[in-house]
Structure 1
Amino acid sequence: MLIQRLATAMVLLPALLALVWFAPTPVVFVVFALTGTVIAWEWGGLMHLPAPWARRGYAALTGVILGLAWFTPLRDAWLAWLLLPVALWWLLVPLLFRGFPGNLQRHPIAPPLMGLLGLLLVASTILSLAWLHAQPDGALKLLYLLFLVFAADTGAFLAGRNFGRRKLAPMISPGKTVEGAIGGLLLCAAWALTGGVYAFGVAGSELGWLLALSLLVALASIVGDLVESMFKRLGGIKDSGNILPGHGGLLDRVDSILAAAPLMVLGLQLTGL
């Protein structure tokens, strides 16, 4: 399993870095949008859609919405209005963790609402990534965001493995600890104070805003991971798919980015960084 995970990562990571660094924004958007349709297919599994045609239809609808959004003001002028309800979801969804699983077993989220939620999360993420890439030095800023998420995950793994004692959300993800989350945040703070300064060219109060935003985004990435685990446990699913050997599905790999990207872009727009 470990060898499979490493082999998959060694193939995908260089391809992702090359795409972000060398490709123009329209190409980046197309690749990410196609990825979004696969994520939507896997989200359909979390919804327990009754037939393959329903999941294919849901994935196709997501692709159509992404394509239409690219050619409308939603891509730029209206993006913040799309990100506001998504940000609200990520800020409030931890309230569901405390009573899980009984709360969602007694009051499950209706399939239409789950479908709408999936569309919002996927569309907001893909459009946010494309928006960030289109900014001045956008490739650098997008790489900063991606490595911020990687830092949160890596720091949490290392700190949790060596110092983890208190469970963060035992009914959702027993392996995650409070100490691990703190370790992830500390590594993200170091990344913000080094990579962030280079990517955004900030100093003084602007650096303070970037540090605060980066820590909020890092927290959101942890929440994103927990939310997908919550829905998988609720549905009795181990992995969202099997497209990535050793990793599971695409949703298993990008759950943190679904939360991090919209909050990062909304924060950049609100702070003017």
Structure 2
Amino acid sequence: MSGGTTAVTLLAGEAAARAVPVVAGVLGAGGVAVAALPPRVRTRAELRRRWRTWALAAPLFLGALWAGRAGACALAAGLGVVAVAEYARMAGLARGERAVLWLAALALPVAAWRAPAALDLRALAALLVMSALPALLTGDTARGFTRTCRTLFGVLWIPASLTGLVLLDGTAVAVGVAVAFGDVGAWCGGTALGRRGALARPLSPLSPRKTWAGVLGAAAATALALAAVGAFTPLLWAAVLTGCVLGDLLESMVKRETGVKDAGTWLPGFGGLLDRVDSLLLALLLTMAVTT
């Protein structure tokens, strides 16, 4: 969370203008490649569903950020409301905790837009009190601490991270594009290089399919994406790459403890919204940390 506006090198409109031809070119090439896959390829149907989701999501993301901070605020609030609903369902949170998460999902983007200086230690204290309040008022001696921790984690992981879409201006465009490319790069790296050898080793038991080959693919793809939109710096690249790698593992940790496979089923090719934005959330949070 930031105590003021974030120092950036790109305006949102400028960054979006640079990103549009890059994203359109990659989507076009990807669409041709997916359409040309022979029927015997096992992942053909899934890849086509994923491509269609990308083709719909990319204009919405870039268009909202192109509209400036008001558009970024609306995007952050919309993503936040859906994502916290999925998280609350996974974490088994009661109505009181869900209300706290929904309030944070709406209020934090608005604060980032209209009063970014208010997002300081005072806001963190208020979030802590809000997260604990439902358990405190019901006198829950059995699960009150767990409820509070899960609620506060959800607030910091989702709504607080999404304020980066507003606070980072043009850098948020670069981060979003780089994360999307990083996810594709990780899949390509894992598929091409992750079948045997040292690079085939799992990154963590939380997600055995995530290999060091995938990390290598994500590293190359995020660097290329940041360079293509004119935003590459070693520090920003490190923040985005770390978000790509650890963001997915973070959601895997939540899903494994709560015993679910996906955060939802409504997003074709991905599952739920959290399954799509898990890397973006951490990448935005880390980018705010290194650029503020």
* Superposition TM-score, scaled by structure 1 size: 0.72
State yes or no: 1:126 paired with 2:162.
yes
Cα deviation, residue 217, structure 1: 2.6
- Report the 3-state secondary structure (helix = DSSP H, G, I; strand = E; otherwise coil) of the residue aligned with 2:270: coil
**Residues 233-244 of structure 1 correspond to what in structure 2 (within 5 A)?**
233-244=256-267
Unaligned runs of 5+ in 1: 85-108, 200-206
Q: Where does residue 26 of structure 2 map in the other structure? A: none
Against the structure 1 CA distance between its residues 234 and 216, is the aligned structure 2 distance closer, same or farther, given a 3 Å change threshold? Answer: same
Cα deviation, residue 66, structure 1: 4.2
State yes or no: 1:33 paired with 2:68.
no
Q: Where does residue 95 of structure 1 map in the other structure? A: none
Number of positions where the alignment pairs a residue of Structure 1 with one of Structure 2: 222
Against the structure 1 CA distance between its residues 110 and 218, is the aligned structure 2 distance closer, same or farther, given a 3 Å change threshold? Answer: same
How far, CA to CA, are the matches of 2:123 and 2:190 in structure 1?
31
Cα deviation, residue 114, structure 1: 1.0
Query: Contact 1:83 / 1:266 at 8 angstroms: preserved in 2?
Result: no
Sequence identity, in percent?
30
Q: Where does residue 15 of structure 1 map in the other structure? A: 60
How far, CA to CA, are the matches of 1:74 and 1:224 in structure 2?
28
1:14-70 deviation line (CA, Å, top 9, x unaligned): 22222222x2312321232122011111111221236xxx2xx54443332344443
Against the structure 1 CA distance between its residues 181 and 75, is the aligned structure 2 distance closer, same or farther, given a 3 Å change threshold? Answer: farther
Query: Contact 2:240 / 2:283 at 8 angstroms: preserved in 1?
Result: yes
Q: Where does residue 163 of structure 1 map in the other structure? A: 193
Give the residue type in structure 1 aligned to 2:58: L
**Residues 54-73 of structure 1 correspond to what in structure 2 (within 5 A)?**
54=95, 57-69=96-108, 70-71=110-111
Q: Where does residue 270 of structure 2 map in the other structure? A: 247
Q: Where does residue 77 of structure 1 map in the other structure? A: 117
Against the structure 1 CA distance between its residues 67 and 229, is the aligned structure 2 distance closer, same or farther, given a 3 Å change threshold? Answer: closer
Larger radius of gyration: 2
1:208-252 deviation line (CA, Å, top 9, x unaligned): xx2133123311221011110121122220110123123211111
Q: Where does residue 145 of structure 1 map in the other structure? A: 175
Q: Where does residue 115 of structure 1 map in the other structure? A: 151
Query: Contact 1:160 / 1:183 at 8 angstroms: preserved in 2?
Result: yes
**Residues 186-265 of structure 1 correspond to what in structure 2 (within 5 A)?**
186-192=220-226, 194-195=227-228, 198-199=230-231, 210-265=233-288
